[in-house]
Every structure is written in structure tokens, then in C-alpha cells.
Structure 1
Amino acid sequence: MNRFYYQATLDFFIAFGVVLGAAMLAGMAALFLWVSPQETMLNIAGRIKIWAVVVAIGGSIDPIRVIEANVMEGFLSPALQQVFYILCAFLGAHLATELVNWMCRNAG
């Protein structure tokens, strides 16, 4: 399989899983704390979205350095790949947030 599609798919699903998993576990914690699980899940899903993207792209500043170094040298293809990976991760995080919103809206 092409490494580009492999990495883009991994980034999408890692970000998706981080948001969904964090929201679900926060909902379980809310039950133990006797607070609204729906509000807690919605709050956490919105707040953790950016961190899910960071986790998916490697948890460091390296992708930004790759973009900078390649653009400065005139190589746009590696820079565009990094931007696409970030967009895939954001899409995964956003879709998970929308799924949590949908679940909370339809739960009660």
C-alpha cells in the first residue's frame, strides 16, 4: 500500500479515536460524579479536538519544520503532504466531535 494513503488514514482514525474515546470516558466519569454526561461529553469533545490533531500528526513540531524546510528549498510536494496529513487528522477529530454531538442530541 502507498505510504501516503497509509499515513493519511492512520492520522484520520487516530484523531477520530482520541476525540471519541475521551468523550466516552468523560461521560462515564460524569456518571460517577453525578453530573450530566451529555454536557460533559460535549464539552470534552470540543476542547480536545485540537489535541487529537496534535497526537495524530506526531505530538511535536516536526511536521511544521518539514513544511518550513521544504517550502524554503522549493520542494512543495513534501510540504503539501504534511498539510494533507494535518487536514486528515483535523477531519477525523471534527467528525468524531460531530458524532458525539449527534449522540448527545439524540440521547435525550
Structure 2
Amino acid sequence: MLLTKEMLATLVMNFFIAFGVMIGGALIGGIGAFLIGKPILMEIDKIAGSLKIWAIVAAIGGSFDAITRIENGLFSGVHEDIYKTLAMLLVAFCGAQSGTILLRWIIGDPV
């Protein structure tokens, strides 16, 4: 796989989109937990756990596009699409995981 400047830019953006979805979603959800009287830190941890898959989907721009690219790679013989999509998924997962780790570090891992 040839790592072009555009592909590298896409990978960096995917990482930070997933990271931002995790941090923003969990912290804003924590504000909501405060407003309704639930324990904030426990809710932030629970939200972070359930947001991870959605952060990955948001980072890659929707699941159907990624599945279509993998299908084209498998059945059309264009393996570069498979490699690019897998790299995008891996980077998005790393961004979501980094966001989760940072949130748990901030809240002190209440579980």
C-alpha cells in the first residue's frame, strides 16, 4: 500500500474525529447526568463504553461506504481498497481507544 499525502491526512483526521467523538460525547453526556442528578463520573464511564463503536463509525464516514470498499476489494481484485479501509478502521479504533483511556485517566476510573 502506497501511503500518499492524502491518505495520511485522512488517517490523521479519522483518528481525531473518533477521539473527539469520545471526549465530546462523554463530557457533554456528563453534563446531562449532572442535570438529571445521576453520578457524573459513573455516567461518563458508561457513556464512553457505549460510544466507542459510534466514534469509529463517525470517523470512517458511515459503515456502508467502508463495507462497499471492502467488497470491491474482495470481488474486484483491487486489494488497495481493502488495505486503505482496514487502515482507516484501525486508526479510528486507536482514536476511540485513546479517548476512552484519557477519559478514564481524567475521571480516575470509577469502576
Deviations 1:46-77 (A, max 9, x none): 00100110011112311111111122222212
> Match for residue 58 of structure 1?
61
After superposition, what is the alpha-carbon deviation per residue over 1:11-64, rounded to whole angstroms, capped at 9, x for unaligned? Answer: 100000001001100111111112211000000000010011001111231111
Q: Which residue of 2 aligns with 1:14?
A: 17
**Residues 1:106 and 1:43: Cα distance change in structure 2 (over 3 Å):** closer
Indicate the larger mover: 2-11 or 29-38.
Answer: 29-38
SS at structure 1 position matched to 2:63: coil
Given the two structures, how large is their TM-score scaled by the length of structure 2? 0.89
Q: Which amino acid aligns with 2:97?
A: H
Once the two structures are superposed, residues 70-92 of structure 1 have per-residue CA deviations (whole angstroms, 9 ceiling, x without a partner) of: 22222212210111001111110
RMSD across aligned positions (CA): 1.6
Question: Is there any run of 5+ residues in structure 2 with no aligned partner, and where?
Answer: none
Q: CA deviation at 1:104?
A: 1.0
For 1:1-108, what aligned pairs fall within 5 Å after superposition?
Answer: 2-105=5-108
Instruction: Tell me the number of residue pairs that the alignment of Structure 1 and Structure 2 aligns.
Output: 107
Q: Which runs of 4+ in 1 moved over 2 A?
A: none
Identity %: 35
Residue identity matched to 2:7: F
Partners in 2 of 1:71 and 1:12 — Cα distance?
Answer: 25
What amino acid sits opposite 1:48 in the alignment?
L
SS in 1 for 2:38: coil
